[in-house]
Structure 1
Amino acid sequence: MKLDIYEHFHPDEREFVDKAWEWIVHAGQFHESRLTDFLDPRQTVILESLANRHPDVQVRFDGGHAEAERCRALIAPDYRDLSSEDMKLKVLRIDSTDQKFLALEHGDYLGSILGLGIKRSKIGDIHVLEDGCHAVVCEEISAFLDMNLNQVHRIHVQSEILPIEQLRISKTSLEMLDITVASLRLDGIASDVYRLSRSKVLVPIRAGRCRVNWKTEEDPSVQLREGDVVSMQGFGRFKVLEAGDVTKKGRYRVRVGKFV
């Protein structure tokens, strides 16, 4: 079974695959339940696909709202009703009286939280708002964060723990780019989006620092499709919104939304 499972995933994902399969086996055979930390979208796909292999297991995902990117998972025997289970999610509200506070970005908040020694897996989506920030966090570390988070990017802040029902969601902001490329290859589109030469964009791809739909992608020739989300370490991420129209010269018109 293990070898069969491994065939479907990247070698870098094996550690998580092993862990997820153990959770599923324990739920299905030993009737144990497991509430995970926050999973990224790729880990969610892996866990869901493995759970589908076991007829006696079910999984509930929750990240605080319907469109959450990072979610906690509750893995349990299939006879349990998970709809009313407490997923132990809290909102860390952060604000400040300093006007410079309004210029803070997602990375500033995440960096300050991780700087307290918190693992990334304990933090869900971070919503930067016009008057502050709402971060979804695991309940078990919420009191620690409320007590110890005093600064974000050298700006003094105040915090408060709120129930998950009071979460305020930020809207995703995309910078629209219309490009024409010779093909829908990953390296060609990424080169235009990140404004790098083809040779320079190959370096992070082949080094395993590029992900397509949160899965590590080391093949620069892979074809992108509408809806694909591409992230490259150090350069940000983008989403392919439209692809396929061909110009008279045989080039592809592609509309991309770059996350800002």
Structure 2
Amino acid sequence: MLKNEIYGHFHPDERQFVDRAWDWVTAAGEYHETKLTDILDPRQGYILQSLVNRHPDVIVRWEGGHAGAERRRALVAPDYRELAGEDMELKVLAITSGEQKFLALEHGDYMGAILGLGIKRSKIGDIHVLDDGCHVVVTADIADYLSLNLHQVHKVNVSTAILPLASLRAGEVKLEPLEFSVASLRLDGIAADVTRLSRSKILVPIKGGRVRVNWKVEEDPSYGLKAGDMVSIQGFGRFKVLEVGGLTKKGRYRVQIGKFV
């Protein structure tokens, strides 16, 4: 398959990952090799699955700890392999604490503490904040390191334990409801309202390639959002367009947003 044919379907910034993913697929299909990837985000997962679908002799198994996992690890293999029993080399890092303020910690606090230990994002799966702690899906090769070195999360002393993936407790996604009346469904307008930035300031991350819509880089401020779209802005978190209502008498849209907390 010609590389430019593959590239035509993806953003230029994604070419490096497309190259790597296609190498995994061709190695499985042509040389009977298997590849256990790092943990992929949904966009990377979409790209890899798309490339696997283009090769008749390749299959892929996905695992993220539970059925609704957002970030998942892939095992790419020739189609004659039986992958159901393969070890996907994932563990659960259970984080607990006896301090009362521990219960106020959020997703970003745990993420920051783990990344602060020099861990790559590709080694971390979904982070599940629970009523009594936190379960984090991690690759098995970093589990011991994290358990030995993670002692604080946002200045709160914590304890850790390594559990099998089957012990994962999936947390409930929490969304802060927001409602706006907007003149249009443009990305820059809605993102400005959610982040409480001016239109001119929200253009900086958009044009800088720091905004993703449905996990794909979107640099067009006029991009039209619709219900179901997931938007992430580096440094400002994520939100989901829950509902787009009809026009008001003044010709404005009522938009319901869920901001991830």
Same fold by TM-score, threshold 0.5 exceeded? yes
1:95 aligned onto 2:96 = yes
Q: Deviations over 1:194-228 (max 9, x none)?
A: 22221221121111111101111000111111110
Q: State how far apart, in whole Å, the 1-side matches of 2:178 and 2:51 are.
A: 37
Residue 244 (structure 1) shift? 4.7
Residue 115 (structure 1) shift? 2.1
SS in 2 for 1:144: helix
Match of 1:69 in 2: 70
Partner amino acid for 2:47?
A: I
Match of 2:141 in 1: 140
Residue 79 (structure 1) shift? 1.4
Q: State how far apart, in whole Å, the 1-side matches of 2:228 and 2:167 are.
A: 30
Residue 130 (structure 1) shift? 1.4
Match of 1:245 in 2: 246
1:259 aligned onto 2:260 = yes
Match of 1:232 in 2: 233
Match of 2:162 in 1: 161
Say what the alpha-carbon RMSD is for the aligned residues: 1.2
Match of 1:186 in 2: 187
Q: Deviations over 1:145-199 (max 9, x none)?
A: 2222222223222111111111111111111112121111111211222222212
Q: State how far apart, in whole Å, the 2-side matches of 1:243 and 1:58 are.
A: 38
Match of 1:2 in 2: 3
Q: Deviations over 1:44-77 (max 9, x none)?
A: 0111111111111111111000111110001011
SS in 2 for 1:128: strand
- What are the ranges of 5 or more consecutive residues in structure 2 without an aligned counterpart? none
SS in 2 for 1:255: strand
SS in 1 for 2:65: coil
User: After alignment, is 27-36 or 154-163 more displaced?
Assistant: 154-163
SS in 1 for 2:206: helix
User: After alignment, is 10-19 or 246-255 more displaced?
Assistant: 246-255
Q: How many residues align?
A: 260
Partner amino acid for 2:197?
A: L
Q: How does 1:189-208 map to 2 (within 5 A)?
A: 189-208=190-209
Match of 2:50 in 1: 49
Scaled by the length of structure 1, the TM-score of the pair is 0.96
SS in 2 for 1:178: strand
